Structure 1
Amino acid sequence: MNKESYNKIANIWADYRNESFVSQLIIDFAEKLHPQAKVLDVGCGTGVPVARFLAEKEILVTGIDAAEKMIEIALSHQIPNAQFMVSDFFDFQPQETFDGILAWDSFFHFPKKSQELIYPKVAQMLNSGGYLLFTHGDVDDEHTNPMRGEEFYYSAIPKEKIKVLLEENGLELIYMYKDYKEKDTDRGLVVLAQKR
């Protein structure tokens, strides 16, 4: 559902994202990384503004997204230090590991039955000392909701379970912000963790 819906709204989404801002939490995440650090951007969308911001910090960005039209737009920006490819997160098999993984507004689109599988996969792809920054729903839930005229699927597991999964997979919780508000945006949960 989400892949088809994002493909349908790709141009509208691109216009919206071109005018949007980079969260202070992403700015802080970038400051933890050294130049030439490798970052995986999960659900990178059009590559703007987030991947472009990271790339401008001399961070090497790999962006993945299941929606082909989003990747077409991302590639059209020709962002230095960034590569983009069509891939589902669970199908993605990188040839390298990463110093950071960013999943800004993407994990909550994954099937609920797959939510617990995120963390071992992330741990496998992260270098020791690497950071994981992601947004998530703040309640145990599964639902659909319209956005830009199309229907999208969302799911979440309890935040207490996220803490357990992080710990079980060698990821140390740095913060977990509930109802994070910034400018005109509101996210149920934002989490930063670091691989031991």
Structure 2
Amino acid sequence: MRYTPHNRWGQKPKGANRLENACICFAGISPLAVHAQTGPDTPMKPDDILPTYNRVAPEWDRRRDRSLFERKWMDRLIQHTPLNEKRRRVLDLGCGSGRPIASYLLERGLDVTGVDGAAAMVELFKQNLPRAKIVNADMRGLDLGQKFDAVMGWNSFFHLSAEDQRAMFAVFARHAAPRAALMFTSGTSNGEAIGHVADEPVYHASLDPQEYRDLLTQHGFEELAFVPEDPECNQHTIWLARYVGLG
């Protein structure tokens, strides 16, 4: 998502409003627009996310910005991804159609496993990246029985409710190999917001930075970087951490 303004995956939404008067900024969600589209008659809930993306997948893929403005952070993720086996393994949660992020990681020699709860996105991923692994599953409560050298929730994790985001840190840890990198995007502070994807409203939520820090520590991660509204990444708010375990 971006603040220029663009939404979750680099598209240009009509705008968004802030809920609960929260002082929260998500890249791509304008503080000025759209309350007319999100009121008591048209509530957008976290559970609406997967049906929405399933419905708009082809249009989303067509509009997705492929300039790879995320390159700096993808390279930083790679830099912190350890080699525990023959190839570095990346778990991409909420992978969408796989372009441009999963495709870039594959080009850099990483072994990518994508996970997306929208079946239409999974089909696009298969078409775009036939060499990559893909799983049609909800990231909430996910247990693949595998470890990965990097886990990523780029512009997907923040579509979950606050409660579900808290529970995701156990999912991150469950899939983290020794010293695995973790990267995800969030809002700048606690609250909810509504953006748009392919002209349809989509829900976002964020915790406060300190709560994210506490959750990282509680689940065996050490913070490596936190950059709110990175001007070099279209105003994304980005977290990077390393799994060190609890022992």
TM over 0.5: yes
**TM-score, normalising length: structure 1:** 0.92
Letter in 1 for 2:50: K
**Aligned mates of 1:74, 1:56 — CA distance in 2:** 15
Q: Percent identity?
A: 25
Which residues in structure 2 correspond to 1:132-151 (within 5 Å)? 132-151=182-201
Q: Counterpart of 2:3?
A: none
User: Does the 8 A contact of 1:42 with 1:64 survive in 2?
Assistant: yes
Q: Counterpart of 2:75?
A: 27
**Offset at residue 22 of structure 1 (A):** 5.0
Which residues in structure 2 correspond to 1:160-171 (within 5 Å)? 160-171=210-221
**Aligned mates of 1:78, 1:121 — CA distance in 2:** 25
**Aligned mates of 1:69, 1:163 — CA distance in 2:** 34
- Residues 1:181 and 2:231 aligned together: yes
Greater strand percent: which structure? 1
Q: Counterpart of 2:240?
A: 192
Greater Cα offset, 167-176 or 90-99: 90-99
Q: Counterpart of 1:106?
A: 156
Q: Considering Cα pairs closer than 8 Å and 6+ residues apart, tell me whether 1 or 2 has the greater RCO.
A: 2
User: Does the 8 A contact of 1:22 with 1:49 survive in 2?
Assistant: no
Unaligned runs of 5+ in 1: none
**Offset at residue 153 of structure 1 (A):** 1.0
User: Does the 8 A contact of 1:129 with 1:195 survive in 2?
Assistant: yes
- Residues 1:48 and 2:96 aligned together: no
User: Does the 8 A contact of 1:52 with 1:79 survive in 2?
Assistant: no
**Aligned mates of 2:113, 2:179 — CA distance in 1:** 19
Letter in 2 for 1:145: G
Letter in 2 for 1:190: I
Task: Let me know the Cα RMSD of the aligned residues.
Answer: 1.6
SS where residue 105 of structure 1 aligns? coil
Partner deviation per Cα, 1:44-72 (whole Å, 9 max, x = no partner): 00011111111122211110011111111
The one of 112, 131, 135 aligned to 2:181:
131
Unaligned runs of 5+ in 2: 1-47
User: Does the 8 A contact of 2:145 with 2:175 survive in 1?
Assistant: no
**Aligned mates of 1:29, 1:91 — CA distance in 2:** 24
Instruction: Check 1:186–1:79 CA distance in 2 against 1; reply closer, same or farther (3 A cut).
Output: farther
The one of 39, 46, 49 aligned to 2:90:
39
Give the 4+ runs in structure 1 shifted more than 4 A.
Answer: none
The count of residues paired between Structure 1 and Structure 2 equals: 193
Letter in 2 for 1:192: L
Partner deviation per Cα, 1:10-55 (whole Å, 9 max, x = no partner): 1121122363315111122123334611110010000111111111
Q: Counterpart of 1:6?
A: 53
Letter in 2 for 1:65: D
**TM-score, normalising length: structure 2:** 0.73
Give the structure with higher Rg (CA): 2
User: Does the 8 A contact of 1:10 with 1:70 survive in 2?
Assistant: yes
Which residues in structure 2 correspond to 1:28-107 (within 5 Å)? 28-33=76-81, 34=83, 36-80=87-131, 82-107=132-157
User: Does the 8 A contact of 1:174 with 1:194 survive in 2?
Assistant: yes
Greater helix percent: which structure? 1
